[in-house]
Structure 1
Amino acid sequence: MGTKRHFRVWRGDDTGGSLEDFQVEVNEGEVVLDVIHRLQATQTPDLAVRWNCKAGKCGSCSMEINGKPRLGCMTRMSTFNETETVTVTPLRTFPVIRDLVTNVNFNYQKARELPAFAPPAGVAPGEYRMQQVDVERSQEFRKCIECFLCQNVCHVIRDHEENKHAFSGPRFFIRAAELDMHPLDARDDRKELAQAEQGLGYCNITKCCTEVCPEHIKITDNAIIPMKERVVDRRYDPVTWLGRKIFRRDQLDEQPVSASPKPAAAAADSGSNWHQEGPVPQEAPVGADGKLVVAELTLDRAAAGSPFGDDQVFPLPPEQLRYQHPSPPTGDGH
């Protein structure tokens, strides 16, 4: 025989609603979704809830239980005290359709914006070969069940409606990281795309997404932070940036990143070579002794120009540079 427990369940739709109180029977070993189904069967047959597998693998029954985003089918009633009121509400980040069902179309729109796996040229399906270590690196991210709990707790989406058009969220950061790590993916612009189109820079790695993931994917440590580091290495590392400005002047004018391929005519008009091979890196000029001709480059101020590019233009005019060549040895050996 079960015991009576106090439940508070949010009832309403997109026009508004409120929490309603229920006394419902709870049996040993049951999960919250079992209790919701009992409420539907005995007290409130019009209660709307989304669910499918009841095994923690479809991600459908996402809800907030006592204020924490969880899967209803994986939250056991034994985790709560017998006198504790269990409050069940819909995901707060997404618009409510009715009761515990929310509209998560935002996530599917972001999924459509992310370029899919690009097959390598000259390799037919069935001929793909990968090292086991490469398989294991990205396998963690493929465990995602798209419950969107990480999207729900991400404050960039949850608290700032104005960010949604430029921010994909943690679920799609791990997808971008997985493809960037994939040795057979033919696209080499995943990092730039994450920065320019997915809004990777908005994430301040609070790890709230990792904390609620039911598949225990280390979203922040294994996906977001490495992607941020690779973007920084490519774009903002001062040494790399300065070297590119000096020795690879053919890349001074960077074109904006676009996830959608442009027609050939449009690409020609805009000057974008996004879908073409980039210029081949050139070696730095060296002297006969194998050393750089310029030993040191200094500015006429205490600090170097900002690596983010402000009002400083490289290469600098000659009158603003000071070349310091190695001094020839004197007669006393110094």
Structure 2
Amino acid sequence: MTHTVHFRVWRGDAEGGGLADFDVEVNEGEVVLDAIHRLQATQAPDLAVRWNCKAGKCGSCSAEINGRPRLLCMTRMSVLDLTAPVTITPLRAFPVLRDLVTDVSFNYAKAREVPAFVPPPGVAPGEYRMRQEDVNRSQEFRKCIECFLCQDVCHVVRDHEENKTAFSGPRFLMRVAELDMHPLDAAAETGLDRKSTAQEEHGLGYCNITKCCTEVCPENIKITDNALIPMKERVADRKYDPLVWLGSKIRRRGA
């Protein structure tokens, strides 16, 4: 079954732009990216849109559909209200390059700021041993496809450009949390305190756990409940729990 859907698609570049109206034929079972491709093929061959796998695994086709951050390739037309215009706009938290393509280099800069996993001393690759429970916990976070929808929806980044220098956003705070809870990470033995860096360098305190990042994650990662809240608890223990504070003083004196 084919029917015509009215689309409003943002066209423009860093200098400015606006919404352009298009009527596009849509077939039963199609996703929004199918409609965008048909729009390119029939009416707007110069429309810029980023995509790659069309299977929800590369994270390339992130955009905002009716104001909600989504993957174009994983949003079925059937879940949208087709009696009203379908509005497609670029990710609002990042600078527009052209049309639906944004400059997400902020995220790659933040990724480089997260110190990598530190291998345990005296243990060769292939000799690592972990409990299955720890493997499962880490594996959830490794499902991330870096679509940056969580970064886009986070109001700390989205509504306050000035926060970007001090705040890494949910995707990379999740990475810090994953490394901090990794039983084999030997960062502390090199003098790297991941709890301290989460708070002081990556802006964990800016997060007010609204769970909006979890709500838009296409991989259904429980970013807030399983990464950010536990990380906040560990940071608070380090700073405010008198027993933890006393233990750190004793260990430091013993060293």
Aligned residue number for residue 191 of structure 1: 195
TM-score computed with the length of structure 1 as normaliser: 0.73
How far, CA to CA, are the matches of 1:236 and 1:37 in structure 2?
Answer: 54
In structure 2, the gaps of 5 or more residues are none
Q: Which has the larger radius of gyration?
A: 1
Deviation at 1:208, TM superposition (A): 0.7
**Among 280, 288, 300, the residue aligned to 2:254:** 280
Aligned residue number for residue 238 of structure 2: 234
Q: How many residues align?
A: 251
Identity across matched positions, percent: 76
Instruction: Indicate the structure with greater helix content.
Output: 2
Q: Which structure 2 residues correspond to residues 24-39 of structure 1 after superposition, within 5 A?
A: 24-39=24-39
Aligned residue number for residue 225 of structure 1: 229
The higher-RCO structure (CA 8 Å, 6+ apart) is 2
Cα-Cα RMSD: 1.6
Aligned residue number for residue 146 of structure 2: 146
Aligned residue number for residue 50 of structure 2: 50
- 2:92 paired with 1:88: no
How far, CA to CA, are the matches of 1:279 and 1:29 in structure 2?
Answer: 66
Deviations 1:78-100 (A, max 9, x none): 01233221000000000000000
How far, CA to CA, are the matches of 2:82 and 2:239 in structure 1?
Answer: 55
Aligned residue number for residue 134 of structure 2: 134
The 1:82–1:166 alpha-carbon spacing in structure 2 relative to 1, beyond 3 Å, is: closer
TM-score computed with the length of structure 2 as normaliser: 0.94
Helix, strand or coil: the match of 1:94? coil
In structure 1, the gaps of 5 or more residues are 252-277, 282-334
Aligned residue number for residue 67 of structure 1: 67
Aligned residue number for residue 40 of structure 1: 40
Aligned residue number for residue 160 of structure 2: 160
Deviation at 1:159, TM superposition (A): 1.1
How far, CA to CA, are the matches of 1:280 and 1:30 in structure 2?
Answer: 65
How far, CA to CA, are the matches of 1:280 and 1:87 in structure 2?
Answer: 62
How far, CA to CA, are the matches of 2:243 and 2:187 in structure 1?
Answer: 26
Deviation at 1:161, TM superposition (A): 1.4
Deviations 1:265-300 (A, max 9, x none): xxxxxxxxxxxxx5438xxxxxxxxxxxxxxxxxxx
Aligned residue number for residue 180 of structure 1: 180
Runs of 4 or more, structure 1, over 3 Å off, are 238-241
Deviations 1:138-166 (A, max 9, x none): 11100000000000011111111111111
